[in-house]
Amino acid sequence: MVKLERFETNDFERLINWVDSEELLVQFGGPIFTFPLTADQLDEYISDPQRSVFKVIELPANNVIGHAELVPSDHKTVKICRILIGDKSKRGKGLGQELINELLEMSFLQLGFEKAELNVYDWNIGAIKCYEKNGFKRNPDKVNRIEVNGNVWTALNMTVLRSAWLKLF
């Protein structure tokens, strides 16, 4: 089980230590950060009032294991961004699915959004399956490509409507 709490300056060092390569930074952070990740970048990042930035806490141990963010796209749509299970020993155990569910519950039931969207690289099969388990579908009309260290990465856009998510429960 996971819960979300506000990501603050005392969380910076943990996140910086987790993001130990340019590839991971691009995978996790997209274009808003440059490698190496620094406290100055994170300070600017959390000062954006549009962003709701969270640390992910595993219960009942109360250990911080990850990071996530919500950003309103418009009054009906929220973007789920910068998702990371940073503690490598916690990956592949279903915690990502729990995290996405927590973010969707907050987005739909507390904040009142009608749709959530996210981007994921096409080679990240585990993440794609995680998102699909929470009702996300691929949006074939929205694809983006970037070059990372000489390799082209294709970002897929995925969306879920509140009504579709609610049917899962």
CB 53 within 8 A of CB 63: no
The average pLDDT across 119-126 equals: 96
- Strand-pairing partners, residue 70, are 52, 80
Q: Measured between alpha carbons, how far is residue 117 from residues 89, 110, 142, 157, 168 in Å?
A: 27, 17, 11, 7, 17
All structural domains of the chain with their residue ranges: 2-118
pLDDT of residue 16: 98
Alpha-carbon gap, residue 90 to 87, rounded angstroms: 6
* Fold assignment, 2-118: Aminopeptidase (3.40.630)
Q: What pLDDT digit, counting tens, does each position of 94-105 carry?
A: 999 999 999 999
How many other C-beta atoms can be found within 10 angstroms of the C-beta atom of residue 17?
10
pTM: 0.95
Q: Is the pLDDT of residue 30 over 90?
A: no
Q: How many CA atoms lie within 13 A of 1 on its CB side?
A: 4
